[in-house]
Amino acid sequence: MLAKSLTRWLQQNLGFAAAILLLVVLCLVYNILHPRGFSSAVAIQNSNEAVAIVFVAMAQTLPVLLGGLDLSVGAVMTLTNCIASELLHGSPAQILLGVVVTLLSGTAFGLMNGIIVVYGRIQPIIATLATGAIAIGLALLVRPKPGGDVDEDLSWALTNSVADFAETYGIADGGQAWWLSPFADIPVPVILVIVVAALVWIPFRRSVTGRTVYAIGSAEGSAYMSGLPINRAKIAAFTLGGFLAACGGLYLAIQTSSGNADIQQAGAYTLNSIAAVVLGGTSLLGGSGGAIGSLVGALILRVISFYFRILDIDPLLQPLIEGVVLLTAVSFGAFRTLRVKNKLDLFR
């Protein structure tokens, strides 16, 4: 019985399972090859660098589930990154306000995307191409030159281990409390990602709105005929995408203590997010997959780039290797063509 349901889960989530397997293997080999072995410091540094792309990839997942694409996620992340770099200093209340304003601005931008797509009835890919340009323009207005002022305590606390977090803010006896010790070495960014995934994504997926997003991606006409709230689901998907992109921008500002309205960087984040979504087993046709898969996909992309640090590879070859790995990974999707029984199923 259990074996049967496990087999069924595997059949339905083949891409996701493969992604997890790939990530586990990559991480194991990485930690074996690492000259200093597995240590908290390495885990903290690597997880810090992975957070932004993880959030952006999760943001990209929602429009992809609808069968669309959001070309503005990188730009929204850049915009919120710039806003956060302006606001995150001063008294604790001011910082908290800054965090809220940053997240709200990203969410509002996502809401605007959703409204344009739903009521403007423009294809998501082209609508977000245009709103992405607007987001970059706003980011340049907020921060014409790279730089910023982010509270140092906040930056330190959120980019280190749980013990350092507790020590910075003097909670749990300055990080020495006995009940904290099992978690003391876990990097804070890992906890942040897990909290957002557990408190935002999973409830959303289980709600009617979330299920409707999947239904629209599978067959929009049928979803409409079944009386599902199509418009609400689409707007919610883009709004949540904006929120998750804002989480990425916020964390990037905290991590780097600065904001940078860089068009190239925004484009790179958008394209990498698409790659991460696909690697995580979400279908670009919509209707299957999930943000957790994208999280894993983004981690795979990052771990591959971490390998360059510990292996003695010519830096000039790095982009080539990254590209070949990406191309090979997505080419495994071609096995689908071998399993198709009716050739017409290919043309979807």
Partner 1 sequence: MRRLVSAENKPIAIALGFILVILLIGTGYTLSTTGTAPLLSPNYLLQQLQIGAFLGICAAGIMMVILLGHIDLSIPWTLTAAAMTATAIGGDMAVPTALAVGVAVGLVNGIGVAWLRIPSMIFTLGVDTVLRGLMVAQTGGFAPQDTATPLMVFLAKERLLGIPAAIFVWAAVSLAIVVILTRTGFGRAIYATGSREAAAYLSGIHTRWVILGAFVVSGVCAAIAGILLAGYSAKAYQGMGNVYLLPAIAAVVLGGTHILGGRGRYIGTLIGVILIVLLNSVLSIMQMPEAGRQIIYGAVIIAMLLVYGRNQRVLS
Q: Which region among 19-27, 43-51, 137-145, 247-255 touches partner 1 (by CB under 8 A)?
A: 137-145
Report if residue 126 touches partner 1, rule: CB under 8 A: yes
Angstrom CA distances, 216 to 228, 240, 270, 285, stand at 9, 16, 23, 11
Answer for which of 21, 100, 313, 330 binds partner 1 (CB under 8 A) is 330
- As a whole number of angstroms, the distance between CA 121 and CA 105 comes to 23
Least Å distance, CB 83 to partner 1, is 14
Report if residue 326 touches partner 1, rule: CB under 8 A: yes
- Here the tokens at position 214 are 């999947």
Answer for which of 26, 27, 133, 310 binds partner 1 (CB under 8 A) is 133
Q: Which residues contact 269 (CB under 8 A, 6 or more apart)?
A: 52, 53, 56, 73, 74, 77, 78, 248
- As a whole number of angstroms, the distance between CA 151 and CA 255 comes to 11
Report if residue 141 touches partner 1, rule: CB under 8 A: yes
Answer for which of 7, 39, 94, 123 binds partner 1 (CB under 8 A) is 123
Answer for which of 37, 221, 312, 339 binds partner 1 (CB under 8 A) is 221
- As a whole number of angstroms, the distance between CA 125 and CA 128 comes to 6
Report if residue 108 touches partner 1, rule: CB under 8 A: no
Give the nearer residue to partner 1 in terms of CB position, either 60 or 161.
60
Answer for which of 32, 170, 264, 312 binds partner 1 (CB under 8 A) is 264
DSSP 225-267: HTT--HHHHHHHHHHHHHHHHHHHHHHHHHHHSSB---HHHHH
Q: Which region among 33-41, 170-178, 189-197, 219-227 touches partner 1 (by CB under 8 A)?
A: 219-227
Q: Which region among 28-36, 149-157, 165-173, 333-341 touches partner 1 (by CB under 8 A)?
A: 333-341
Q: Is 83 helix (H, G, I), strand (E, B) or coil?
A: helix
Which stretches of 66-123 are DSSP H helices? 73-87, 92-119
Report if residue 311 touches partner 1, rule: CB under 8 A: no
Q: Which residues contact 28 (CB under 8 A, 6 or more apart)?
A: none
- As a whole number of angstroms, the distance between CA 326 and CA 155 comes to 32
Least Å distance, CB 51 to partner 1, is 22
CB 238 within 8 A of CB 62: yes
According to DSSP, the residues that pair with 259 across neighbouring strands are 147
Identify the CA nearest to 272 among candidates 242, 237, 245. Answer: 245
Least Å distance, CB 206 to partner 1, is 25
Report if residue 130 touches partner 1, rule: CB under 8 A: yes
- As a whole number of angstroms, the distance between CA 211 and CA 205 comes to 6
Q: Which region among 6-14, 98-106, 124-132, 147-155 touches partner 1 (by CB under 8 A)?
A: 124-132
Site for partner 1 in 23-82 (CB under 8 A): 69, 71
Answer for which of 24, 33, 285, 311 binds partner 1 (CB under 8 A) is 285
Q: Give me the residues that bind partner 1 (CB under 8 A), please.
A: 69, 71, 116, 120-123, 125-127, 129-141, 144, 220-221, 224, 230, 263-264, 267, 271, 274-275, 278, 284-285, 314, 316-324, 326-327, 330-331, 333-334, 336-337, 343-344, 346-347
